[in-house]
Amino acid sequence: MRLRNIPRAGSVLAANPEIVVANPKDFIGNWTKIFENNNPLHLEIGIGRGNFIINLAKQNPDINFLGIEKFDSVLLRALEKTIDNPIKNLRLLRYDANNILEIFGNGEIEKIYLNFSDPWERTSQRNKRMTHTNFLKKYEKILTGGGILQYKTDNRKFFEYSLSEFNNFGLRINSLNLDLHENEPTWNIRTEYEEKFAGLGKKIYFCAVSFKKKEKTMEKTIELGKGLGNELRFGMRFEEVKKILGEPSEIENSEVPSADGEDFGDTVAWIYDELGATLYFDEEDEWKLGTIEVDDDDFELGGKKLIGKGIKDVKNILQNMNINDINEEEIEAEEGEDEEVKLRLLFSQEKCLNVWFEDGVCCEIQWSSL
C-alpha cells in the first residue's frame, strides 16, 4: 500500500512535544524522566494509526507506553486521536526501528508489541522482517530479563517463519493462537488493520514469547579470601547472592567429604553460565557462600588473566603477588574421565587457592574464604 504524504505532518508533530518526543536519543537509559515515574515501560513498534496503543495505555494507567512509527504522515493520525485529550502514560516517537539501540539502553523495556508488521514476502528481503534474528538480538538487549514479545499477523507464512526464528533464538512460547478471533479473548485490542482483516474473514495469528532471564553482569576481579568484585562476599546467604546476581542458570546438589574425610555433608552449587562462575554453599557453614569457581578467561587475579596461560606463567604471576607457598600436584583422571587429558593443580593453602590445568593450560580457578 502506497503511503499518502501529508505535507503538514512534520510541523504538527513538532508542535506537540508533550506527546511526540522530538529528541529520543537524549533519553536513552532514562525514559523514566519523560514519565516522571518508575512504572514498567512497554513499546509498540509500528503503531499505524494508533488505535491499539492508545486503548492499551488507557486501560493500563500504571504502565508507561511508547509507540514508534517511521513515517510522519502515519504518526500524525495517531497524534490526532490524542492531541485534544493527551494520555499521561503515552508518548509517540517518529523513529526507524532499525535503530532502536540508539534510543533504548539495556533492559529498559518490559514488553514489545508487533502488530501486523510488513511480512516482506520476498526471500531476499527476509532480513527486513521484524521477527528476523537481527531484530531479535536488538529486542533482547533492550528488554528486561524474561521480557516479552507479543506478535500478531494475518499472514500464515510470515507467522510460520516467525515461529521458526523464535525457536532458533531459544525463546520460550508463552501463548499461541492460530485463530485469535474464533473465541476472541476479552483482553485483545484490535488494530485498524485487524478490524479490516476480520471483516474479510481472515484468520489472525497470535503468539507471545519471552526472552531468557538475564544474569546481572559484575566486575570479574578475584578477591582472595573475600569473594568476587566489589559486591559478592564470602559468608553471604542465598538471598543476598540472588539480589546481586539474580537467579542462577542451574542449581546442583551433591555430597562432599567433611574435613576429616569420613562423614559426608551436603553442598549446593549455584551455576551462573553467562558469568562463567559457580558458587558453593556448604551445610556445615550454615549455607553461607564459601567457595567460588570460575572458568571464563575474563576473570583477573592481581590485574592479570590466568585462564589460558601455562603453568610457568601462572606461577610467575602468583609469585609476583607474594604468594610463595605454591604447591604443584598431578591429578589422576577419575573413572569415566578422559585419561589422555593431563590434569595438574597449583594450590596455596595459605590463600585457599586452587588453579587447575588441562594439558598444561589453566582452565579453572577456585578460591575459598580464609
pLDDT the model gives residue 334: 58
CA distance 155 to 216: 38
Measured CA to CA in angstroms, residue 108 lies from 21, 30, 38, 307 at distances of 17, 8, 11, 33
Q: What is the pLDDT of residues 201-213, one digit of tens each?
A: 899 999 999 998 7
> Average pLDDT over the chain, rounded to whole?
90
Helix axis angle, 133-142 relative to 156-168, nearest 10°?
60
Active site residues: 118
pLDDT of 363 reads 94
| Domains of the chain (ranges, CATH numbers) | 9-210 (3.40.50.150), 222-368 (2.60.460)
Please tell me the pTM assigned to this model.
Answer: 0.60
pLDDT band at 335; cut points 50, 70, 90: low
Whether 2 has a pLDDT exceeding 70, the answer reads no
Percent of the chain past pLDDT 70, that is, above it, reads 92
**Is 90 exceeded by the pLDDT of residue 134?**
yes
pLDDT greater than 60 at residue 337: no
State percent of the chain over pLDDT 90. 69
Q: How many C-beta atoms lie closer than 10 Å to residue 228's C-beta?
A: 24
> Tens digit of pLDDT for each residue in 15-44?
899 999 989 999 998 898 999 998 999 999
25, exposed or middle or buried, with CB in 10 Å at 0-12, 13-18, 19+?
Answer: exposed
What does the chain come to in residues?
A: 370
Q: Could you identify the residue written with the cell 486521536? A: 81
- Residue 310 DSSP label: B
Q: What's the CA gap between 345 and 320, in Å, rounded?
A: 19
Greater confidence (220 vs 218) lies with: 220
Q: What angle do CA 176, 177, 181 make, to 5 degrees?
A: 150
Q: Do 43 and 109 contact (CB within 8 A), yes or no?
A: yes
Strands ordered across the beta sheet of 41-45: 90-94, 64-69, 41-45, 109-115, 143-153, 205-210, 172-177
Higher pLDDT, 332 or 24: 24
Q: Which residue has the cell 471483516?
A: 199
